[in-house]
Chains A and B, each alone.
Chain A
Amino acid sequence: MTGPAEHPRRSFLYRTLGAAGARWHVVDDAAVAADYGDPDGERETARRMGLADLSPLPRTGFKGAGTPEWLSAQGISVPDESNRATRQDNGILACRLAPAELLLLGPLSGEGEALADLDEAWAKEPVPPETPRGFPVPRRDSHAWFCVTGERAPDMFAKVCAVDLRPAHFAELSIAQTSVARSAAVIVREDLGGVSVYHLLSDSAGSAYLWDCLIDAMAEFDGHPVGHSALLALA
């Protein structure tokens, strides 16, 4: 057990999570809320309506001319069209936000080596590059990473977001770039263990605000915060 303030990298809302009873474990180089004191219950909650903060987990992004080609050359399976995601063998979720913009979510396990390798490979190339290769975007810091889980998630989202996210209308690995509680957000659906999980990426500076909005919106569905462990159990 370790506290989030013992690490230089900290979740944007670790105090909020702490106040909710978070217990921590270290993933990559930061502490993540492992659970909130009831790991078994949280696994069930995650199937119904859960909210997890994965902000400390590795992720990155690239954008600009040459991005898809360069990432493909690095072995990333790039989705054929915008607003779609593809799962990589190593657990990375490659989310194409625009023809030349990708968001790469690291595996839920927190394994960050593959993404670090990508960043390193990009940095090693000369400036100016011989061919366009896009530019890195600091998604791990620009965006908080929440996971909204469970069958009632679409009902909860309907209170804060104008996009129809019900499974029948928002296929797995679809992406919505939209507004959630008036904050710009990227939503990616990825099913884990038969449960719909919505990765929600939004302004890191507004993450405490958005967390409160989501907790408020999910209350009527008996939704609660769930820890990283509950998500790993789903997967």
Chain B
Amino acid sequence: MSRTERLPAPWGLLVDRETEVSFRFEGRHYTGLAGDTLASALVANGQHMMSRSFKYHRPRGWLTMAGLDANTYVQVGAHPNTLADRVPIEEGLSAAALNVSGSLDRDRDAMLEHLGRFMPVGFYYKAFYKPKGAWKFWEKVIRAKAGLGRIHQDDHHEYHDKAYLFADVAVIGGGPAGLSAALEAARQGAEVVLIDEEPVVGGWLNWGRVDDGPSEAARLGAELAKHEKVSVLSRATCSGWFADNWLAIVQDNRLFKLRAQAVVAATGAVEQPMIFRNNDLPGVVLGSAAQRLMRLYGVKPGTRAVVATANPHGYAVALDLADAGVEVAAVADLNHRPESSPERRQARERGLQILDGHTVYEALPGAGKRHVAGVMLDAVAGEGEVAGNPQRIDCDLVCMSVGYSPLGQLVCHSGGRMAYDEDLASLVVDALPPAAQIAGSLAGAWDLETAMAQGRQAGFMASGQAGVSLGEAPPAPATAMPQRVNHPWPIFSHPKGKDFVDFDEDQTVKDVKNAVADGFEDVELVKRYTTVGMGPSQGRTSALNAVRLTNKINGRGLSGGVVTTQRPPFKPVSFAHLAGRSFDPVRYTAMHHRHIEAGAQMMVAGMWMRPAYYAPVGERARAIQDEARAVRENVGLIDVSTLGGLEVRGPDAAEFMNRMYTFAYKKQPVGRSRYVLMTDMSGAVSDDGVACRMNEQHFYVTATTGGADAVYRTMLRWNAEWRLEVDIANVSGAYAGVNIAGPKSREVLSGLDCDIDLSAEAFPYMGVREGRLAGIPVRMLRVGFVGELGYEVHCPASYGEALWDLLMEAGQPFGIRPFGVEAQRLLRLEKGHIIIGQDTDGLTTPHEADMAWAIGRKKPFYIGKRSVDAQAARPLTRKLVGFTLPDTSPLPEECHLVLRGEEIAGRVTSAVRSPAVGKIVGLAYVHPDDSEPESTFTIKLGDGQRIEGTVVPLPFYDPEGARQEM
């Protein structure tokens, strides 16, 4: 269709007639106009069918033209499940239909509808589970048949992100009520964010039969633009309304997170389909959809139309169609005695054929069932009944205007409610979330003056709820509220079926009846059993009729009937939006780049990156052995900056330490460090480290890499209760640290300008000193985690890299080499030192871990003492022991089972081939009866093989500790 075939201006508000856009659909080339959606451009080209239905593969075309149904779901490039009536066309856009097997025109699975009677509601619950194992077969078949879009896993990544927005008042919906609300709130001084799905504000002013509607919309928009404190988000969808007015808004590739003090929902209402046979045929549309197509895009929806209505809006549709040159064959008014209205009078004056008390009873398909070719009209004889004297009228367009359902889903997300009102024959919002207002057709206002007055009231009230100072209140709406526009029963079930309640899921009246007959009487159960309302449109075009049918069939009556629970998102949100620009903080030590430069393979440790070993990946085992050997025989350097660091300072520091940790600290000498073991209230080991007493009122405490923040929080929490005179500071990131270890470590340090006496006498094992090393301020700790003479050197983080450089350079003559976490694990295991979290679990007690030596028995209290004492009084059920295996044995892995007979007695927690010991050494939980040295126990390897471990005393290496204390 060329641009000359569009309706003349002012039809086509959104399209630029001078700019043609080429695109492809189902492999064919089409041309549309800039401003078209894919759907409007396709209809302009005579392509009404856009996809097929999910279950029966029935042809489906445009229905709402507002992105509120799933009929227009298409695949656009790599984007699955895109609404054709929402996506703007762009040059080169390529789209394809969904739910087709073959092509849209020739769908091999279209025959499925002939099997419909074998696929009643709930058939798959019943059909595919017997005989046993059948589901494995059927699942593949069903999954292959299941439609919707395809994810292109090899497609390029798109950039999606998230951003916060802030407002006093958020207004959802840019129709006349929303615009009025936003203007009034702005007048009151509120900061306003208006969220509108359309490209231009105005809502139905732009597409409805309203005198000078677009001009009025533009005027309101211009007035809004004058307010500096108003922001308008166009083409934006509010997909969720969460507690405390937290709104999730999708616009382009961004998910906004808006926190508003108050919200005005002016989301409007969506016309509801009638139910009759073949009501899903392409060409059977909502009246409002036809108006949108004409006024927004300048596209004639058909050539010969039948309008079914029960309110003035349907007559307006008929008049619009006539104005646009569409032959209106008939207006069927479901009411026998319709109320007079200007639109009905005008329709009569235009000579349109009006049939009161008539309905469309059946839509008749054309060739290939791809479009409506006519309707059977019949007189309404009662609720859902016809007289039985049908008359055929040929047409290619059927417009349905029999009532609306408020788009109250967002209101319901945050605590509001929708229920059925029999007087209005409609769902109504009968409860609101806190700090919320509604206005416009959502609130039952159907004329412009009322909607705008109501919007102003809502804006005023919302401003007040937002705490913005109030001026004079706007006048209340003059019209008595609300007005009835819904027909109470636009449902005409047909004995031959195909009378669809839910287009998403191909559910018919019979399906709802069968669900209730099967005992699923409540609308929530009907939803789950039939899947009515569970499709992508989430009941927006089916919930009203589903509520009517269910409550009528189950005999409960319609009044007060509620819709099923409305949950976010209001419209489908892509995973890309949910994932967005994710933030995953990563911490690097000051020496990080030196590790990279030295060829380290880095590993994740909590949020930190640590060097695992320094060699190519294929040389891991050799590198670990070499690094360990360097420490044992020479000197090595490891980055320990990731250890937690906590300053505990104040008059009660020692008392605090005594309460936090199991050991005793009150008499710990200044200048000495002491092991710390933390237990929780259940007596389980939770962390360890060392406490360095810097002065009488100051402890510098280390914690495990992964546990530092938790230890800090625990300390703050307990001191808030104890109120001791102590201050706790988490300085984990403030200090870099290295451990220079090995028999030559002292020699390396001695070659540097250091104001600390490093001799064994002046600085003994477990000593702590402060001073300067080549000008760098340092804290030095003589500790022995790896079992050799060694010094932990801590310095301010900004000096960390310089410290590393200094020690590596000073160590060159001694053959110093960096060693990684893997070598450290080997070395510490040879010394029998446990790693919290690896050799313990969330239930390990100090006695199980053979760490009773770290408990100050004379202390009146420490966290977990009561539990630890109680556990100590009971027999152990497992015990952590050291074990060896011959070097020729397979190497057990962490968590390989320890068996006692056929019973699981424990597990291996650590195991390595020890170059120093010449055997495999490890730690394992065993049965207490197997825990004595020289006992043996069974380890079950991953491949099922069983090997015998021998319990040995710890440590495996240098049991006298002579090497670390030299």
Contacts and interface: CB of A to CB of B under 8 A. Distances in A.
B311 to A, nearest CB: 44
Contact of A182 (B259, B583, B588, B729): B583
Contacts of B799: 8-10
A177 interface: no
Contacts of B802: 7-10
Contact of A141 (B583, B588, B698, B798): B798
Interface string A41-77: 0000000000000011000000111000000000000
B165 A183 contact: no
B797 A204 contact: yes
A140 B697 contact: no
Interface residues of B, number: 44
Given A208-B588, A216-B581, A137 B725 contact: no
A137 B799 CA distance: 16
B109 interface: no
A12 B593 contact: no
A169 interface: yes
Contacts of B581: 159, 216-217
A128 B651 contact: yes
A181 B166 contact: no
B587 A206 contact: yes
B605 to A, nearest CB: 12
B123 interface: no
A10 B795 CA distance: 13
Nearest to B796: A141
Contact of B583 (A10, A134, A181): A181
Interface in A181-203: 181-183, 203
Interface string A10-46: 1110010000000000000010000000000000000
Given A181-B585, A182-B584, A205-B589, A135 B798 contact: no
Contacts of A135: 647, 649-650, 727, 729
A11 B162 CA distance: 30
A127 B695 contact: yes
Given A65-B727, A127-B695, A182-B583, A141 B163 contact: no
A158 B164 contact: yes
Contact of B734 (A142, A183, A209, A217): A142
A142 B733 contact: yes
Contacts of B733: 141-143, 203-206
A110 to B, nearest CB: 14
A12 B797 contact: yes
A138 interface: yes
Interface string A205-232: 1101110010011000000000000000
Interface string B222-265: 00000000000000000000000000000000000101000000
A213 B725 CA distance: 40
A106 B161 CA distance: 35
Nearest to B641: A205
A216 to B, nearest CB: 7
B649 A142 contact: no
B798 A10 contact: yes
B734 A141 contact: yes
A127 B798 contact: no
Contacts of A166: 166
Nearest to B608: A205
A233 interface: no
A113 interface: no
Contact of B731 (A30, A128, A137, A213): A137
A162 B164 CA distance: 6
Given A8-B775, A65-B725, A135-B649, A159 B798 contact: no
A64 to B, nearest CB: 3
A70 to B, nearest CB: 13
A31 to B, nearest CB: 11
Nearest to B164: A158
Given A127-B695, A166-B166, A205 B587 contact: yes
B930 interface: no
Interface in A111-153: 127-128, 132, 134-135, 137-138, 140-143
Contacts of B162: 159
Interface in B252-309: 257, 259
A137 to B, nearest CB: 6
Given A138-B796, A140-B796, A164-B166, A12 B590 contact: yes
Contact of B727 (A63, A181, A204, A206): A63
Nearest to B802: A8
B588 A9 contact: no
Contacts of A127: 695-698
Contacts of A206: 585-588, 607, 733
B737 to A, nearest CB: 12
| A interface bracket (residues with beta carbon within 8 Å of B) | 35 or more
Contacts of B698: 127
B798 A204 contact: yes
A166 B799 CA distance: 36
Contacts of B695: 127
B801 interface: yes
B797 A205 contact: yes
Nearest to B592: A208
Given A8-B775, A12-B797, A205-B588, A128 B697 contact: yes
Interface string B754-798: 000000000000000000000110000000000000000000111
Contacts of A143: 733
Contact of B696 (A64, A128, A161): A128
Given A10-B798, A205-B797, A64 B593 contact: no
Interface centre among B584, B586, B698 (most CB of A within 10 A): B586
B798 A213 contact: no
Given A135-B647, A205-B588, A208-B588, A63 B729 contact: yes
Contact of B798 (A55, A161, A164, A210): A55
A213 B164 CA distance: 16
Nearest to A137: B729
Nearest to A205: B587
B956 interface: no
Given A9-B799, A128-B651, A159-B581, A203 B587 contact: yes
Contacts of B641: 205
A8 B731 CA distance: 20
Contacts of B586: 206, 209
Contacts of A8: 775-776, 799, 802
A82 B589 CA distance: 31
Interface centre among B586, B607, B698, B797 (most CB of A within 10 A): B797
B166 A169 contact: yes
A22 to B, nearest CB: 16
B163 A159 contact: yes
Contacts of A158: 163-166
Nearest to B803: A8
Contacts of A138: 731, 734-735, 796
B727 A30 contact: no
A95 to B, nearest CB: 16
A22 B608 CA distance: 26
A171 interface: no
A160 interface: yes
Interface of B: 161-166, 257, 259, 581, 583-590, 593, 607-608, 641, 647, 649-651, 695-698, 725, 727, 729, 731, 733-735, 775-776, 796-799, 801-802
Interface of A: 5, 7-12, 15, 30, 55-56, 63-65, 127-128, 132, 134-135, 137-138, 140-143, 158-162, 164, 166, 169, 181-183, 203-206, 208-210, 213, 216-217
27 contacts: A8-B775, A12-B590, A56-B798, A63-B727, A64-B650, A65-B725, A127-B695, A128-B696, A134-B727, A135-B647, A137-B729, A141-B733, A141-B734, A142-B731, A142-B734, A143-B733, A159-B161, A161-B164, A181-B583, A203-B587, A204-B733, A204-B797, A205-B587, A206-B587, A210-B585, A213-B583, A217-B581
Given A137-B729, A142-B797, 5 more contacts: A127-B696, A128-B696, A135-B729, A138-B731, A161-B164
